Amino acid sequence: MGKARLARPYRADWNSYGARPVEFSNLEATVELLKWVMRPNTPPPNIVPTVDGNLQLEWHERGIDLEIRIRSRGRYYVTFEDLQSPSRDWEGPITTNLSQLKAAIDSLSDRPD
């Protein structure tokens, strides 16, 4: 069952509205990013395919909404919302400097359930 669910987004039109299949290179880019930013106490993300064949990581817990769209290796778009402190909200593209993204992951990881 798990394999079947993973396999279908790699076919064209997996969303019934013309989505492109997820490219293997985008999977690699996603794994690479996760290796850089995840910590042992980081909750696992939801990994979501997007219509253009990319992947998006999402966390909606601990009072934080964090979404990272992986456009390619080293090119991300991040939206961070802290529901407990909205003044910390930000969004924007991230390329070589991952410090802001790592700080967002750290906030998520350090906050209790």
| Contacting residues toward another protein, per CB under 8 A | 5, 8-9, 14-20, 46, 48-53, 56, 58, 60-65, 67, 69, 77, 79, 83, 91
Tokens matching residue 63: 């009072």
**Distance in Å, CB of 30 to another protein, minimum:** 14
Closer residue to another protein (CB): 29 or 49: 49
The dihedral built from the CA positions of residue 15, 18, 21 and 23, taken in this order, carries a sign that is: negative
Angle between helices 99-110 and 24-37 (to 10 degrees): 70
